[in-house]
Amino acid sequence: MKGIDNTDICAYGVINKNSNTLLHSSSGGVVPELCSKILKEGGSVCTCIYNYDFHELRHALIKDVSQLGKMESSKYFQSDITEIFSITEEYLKGNKNKKLLFIGTPCQCAAIKSYFNTKHVSGENLICVDIICHGVGSNQIWNDFTEDIEKKNNDKIVKISFKDKRYGWLMPYAVAQSKSGKEYDLCDYMTLYNKNLIMRDECYECPFSSVEREGDITVGDFWNVKKAVPSFYNEKGVSSVLCNTEKGKALFLSVIEKFYTVLVSTEDCIQPNMMHPTEKNPLSDKFWIEYQNKGFRYVRKKYASKTMADRIKRHLFVKIGLWKV
C-alpha cells in the first residue's frame, strides 16, 4: 500500500472519448475501457452485476465483452461477494497466463487480496481497481423501495441508473425504467443515502477511507476538476484516476488513447472519503427504530420526502450551476 505523497503514484483527470460510453458510465468512463482491454487479451473481469428479478447486486466473473453492459455504472448498496472467492481462486489457479481484473469498493479489494494471501494464491495476475467510496446503503431499504414501486404500479423495473446524466454529471438523476416504458424516480432513496441515514454500520467506521489505497488503480469522480483544471471540465463526466502500482499504471497506459487525459497532482484528487469515513447522521438510529416499528413507507415520507424549500433550493442551485451530489 502506498500513501498519496508517494511520488510513484501518477494521477490523471480522464474523460472517455466515446460519448456513448461516457454517457452510460458514472464518471468519466474509465472502468469500461480497463475491462474491455483485459477481456480482449483473453483475461476475465470480476465486478458486480445487477439482478433485475430479485433487485440484488452480486459480483460475478465476466469472460466476454458482450456482458460488459450488465456492470455499468454505480449502484449505491452492497454487492454480495461471497461466491466470488472460490470462483476467482479456481480461475487464477487454472489460468496461469491470464489476467483477472477485480473492481469493487476498497473493502472488497482488501477482502479478495487477503483471501488469496491466506490461500497462498499468487496475486501476480490479479489487478485490483478500487473506487473512492462514500459507503453503501442498506440492501433492505433498497428492496423495500423497488418492491414498493413495482407493487404500487403493477409494473416491473427493467433498468436502473443512479447517475443518469440527462441533467449533467454534476446533477445526477436516479431513475428506474420499467417494462411498460414508464420512468420512476429513485430520488427518495438517494436522499436517504446522501443524508447518511442508511449506510451499513461498517461504513461509518471504514478503515479504508484513506489516501492509502487497496487498488492498483483508484477511480472516482473528479469533483475538484473545475478548480484544479477548469478547461478540462466536461458536463458529461470527468474521472480521477490514481495509478498506485506499476501493474496499475501499465494497464491504464495501455488504454490511454481511449481517453482525453490531463496529468494532475495526487492532492487534486483527494476527497473527504480519502481522509475520513462518512459521518453517521445523528438521526440514523431513530430512523431505524421507526423503520422497525412503523415501516418503510413511514420513514420514507418522514426522512426522504422533499419539502417545498428543498425543491426551490435545488431549482436555484441548478440555475446558478452549483448543484452537486
Site for ligand SF4, rule CB under 6 A: 105-107, 133, 135-136, 202-203, 206, 208
User: What is the residue whose three cell numbers read 454534476?
Assistant: 170
CA 140 to chain centre: 19
- The DSSP code for 307 is P
Least Å from the CB of residue 225 to ligand FAD: 11
Task: Write each residue from 9 to 28 as x if it is in contact with ligand FAD (CB under 6 A), else as -, in one continuous string.
Answer: ----------------xxxx
Applying CB under 6 A, among 38, 46, 101, 105 the residue interacting with ligand FAD is 105
117: enclosing H helix or E strand: helix 106-118
Q: Does 220 bind ligand FAD (CB under 6 A)?
A: yes
Selection from 300, 278, 302 nearest residue 200 by Cα: 278
Q: Does 75 bind ligand FAD (CB under 6 A)?
A: yes
Taking the C-alpha atoms of residue 175 and residue 168, their distance in angstroms, rounded to an integer, is: 14
Cα separation values, 241 from 31, 130, 178, 194, 276, Å: 10, 10, 34, 23, 19
Among ligand FAD, ligand SF4, none, partner that 203 touches (CB below 5 to 8 angstroms by kind) = ligand SF4
Least Å from the CB of residue 293 to ligand FAD: 28
Residue number, 35 or 149, with CB nearest to ligand FAD: 35
**3-class DSSP state of 10:** strand
C-alpha cell at 168: 449533467
Least Å from the CB of residue 116 to ligand FAD: 18
Task: Write each residue from 110 to 149 as x if it is in contact with ligand FAD (CB under 6 A), else as -, in one continuous string.
Answer: ---------------------xxxx-x-------------
Task: Write each residue from 237 to 266 as x if it is in contact with ligand FAD (CB under 6 A), else as -, in one continuous string.
Answer: --x---------------------------
CA 39 to chain centre: 20
